[in-house]
Structure 1
């Protein structure tokens, strides 16, 4: 079954371009397009897409507000924020609201298709180092007193720190000398115990709670 995608951007040419690129993939299907956040909220409810590509800056209702409304109404769709800027406070707020990551508009067609597949599979789009830099920049501006989440075991806390560094399950398994399936179980337990949607929110939580402390800028 194809992954159902809703493309949201206020520029018609951008919508058409992304839609054409995604529809060209055998496992992806663009089920709708919206030109602003308000229209996206309506279409998300009507079409029930698996993944929504959501522009950040739009008239009527911006991408952040639309994401909040869509995810408050349903936990089903995954949202990828689209932005021209790699450091955007709207994107950070969207991650906190439950978006699964973000993608730069000048990403390649292969990166675009891969991003949709990644979030549709339930993972967060955290591979680009810019995502971690984004979170670190905002966490650095808000000093916190480090805490150890009492809900987590010491091993789960170790895993959370590595998730916050952007490591994959395989990389975490190598780092901690664990089976990859064990790491996957730990990640699932972390999300459940902390009531987080996915790895993107886990990264935000880890920095905001001080489980991971941003290093100095170079």
Structure 2
């Protein structure tokens, strides 16, 4: 080494080695879906999947242990509701960014998700097109909804007199959750246990749902709920 020259600092990391990939938690009750999402995320050099979970309990444990920067959460976690997980994360003060996935139309669940504390919403069949963009956008402190419906969502927020686009939109968040569970085949007792409410409260919700949807019998309610749930799953292909 010539006089006056400085030895290279071998301890100094290169820019590439010092770059930390942002950690993403995947929450979906279907392993195959998680595998597909992980494949998409793994292709991005700035992101990595730090953990996967199939239930609210598993997700909360992963958040505590891994401290992810973001979570991608499916609304339907078996008999659990992903929005309950979103609300719990916010109530407990976790500051990670949250992207909600759903097989249902954004006009139905998009605003509900954002009200629960999510930072973005993507329909499952659009995940290939928008997932990575959505994750980067929410990590950057912005809100994401897919372009095809963003104008509709903004319009519904600004227009206080806007009418619901369907009878389903008239249901409250709790009524919609009861309706979804009815569609999965659960009866009153199991719904009450799942939601930690009384049988009487479930019956009241069922009555109000029938009134809002123009249904007369319990059988009609079950068929309608199952059909709605099946239609949403079919759209995701």
TM-score over 0.5 for the pair: yes
Structure of higher RCO (CA pairs closer than 8 Å, 6+ residues apart) = 1
- 1:36 touches 1:62 (CA, 8 Å); kept in 2? no
Match in the other structure for 1:41: 60
Structure 1 residue 63, shift from structure 2 partner: 0.7
Distance 1:135 1:72 in 2: 26
Identify which of 14, 23, 26 aligns with 2:45. Answer: 26
Q: Give ranges in structure 1 of 5+ residues lacking alignment.
A: 145-218
With over 3 angstroms needed to count, the CA separation of the structure-2 counterparts of 1:91 and 1:42, relative to structure 1, is farther
Q: Give ranges in structure 2 of 5+ residues lacking alignment.
A: 1-19, 163-237
SS state at 2:144 partner: coil
Structure 1 residue 62, shift from structure 2 partner: 1.1
Structure 1 residue 49, shift from structure 2 partner: 0.8
Match in the other structure for 2:149: 130
TM-score scaled by length of structure 2:
0.54
Identify which of 103, 112, 127 aligns with 2:131. Answer: 112
TM-score scaled by length of structure 1:
0.58
Q: Deviations over 1:143-181 (max 9, x none)?
A: 49xxxxxxxxxxxxxxxxxxxxxxxxxxxxxxxxxxxxx
Q: Deviations over 1:24-71 (max 9, x none)?
A: 211111001111223212212221111111101112531100000012
Q: Which 4+ stretches in 1 moved above 6 angstroms?
A: none
With over 3 angstroms needed to count, the CA separation of the structure-2 counterparts of 1:42 and 1:108, relative to structure 1, is closer
* Range 46-55 or range 100-109, more displaced: 100-109
Identify which of 13, 26, 29 aligns with 2:32. Answer: 13
For the aligned residue pairs, the C-alpha RMSD in angstroms reads: 2.3
With over 3 angstroms needed to count, the CA separation of the structure-2 counterparts of 1:115 and 1:139, relative to structure 1, is same
More helix by share: 2
Distance 2:111 2:57 in 1: 21
With over 3 angstroms needed to count, the CA separation of the structure-2 counterparts of 1:110 and 1:2, relative to structure 1, is farther
- 1:49 touches 1:77 (CA, 8 Å); kept in 2? yes
Q: How many correspondences in the alignment?
A: 143
Computing the radius of gyration from Cα coordinates, the structure with the larger value is: 2
Structure 1 residue 95, shift from structure 2 partner: 0.5
Q: How does 1:21-100 map to 2 (within 5 A)?
A: 21-87=40-106, 89-100=108-119
With over 3 angstroms needed to count, the CA separation of the structure-2 counterparts of 1:23 and 1:71, relative to structure 1, is same
- 1:79 touches 1:99 (CA, 8 Å); kept in 2? yes
Distance 1:121 1:75 in 2: 17
- 1:36 touches 1:60 (CA, 8 Å); kept in 2? no
Structure 1 residue 135, shift from structure 2 partner: 5.7
Distance 1:81 1:54 in 2: 5
- 1:64 touches 1:91 (CA, 8 Å); kept in 2? no
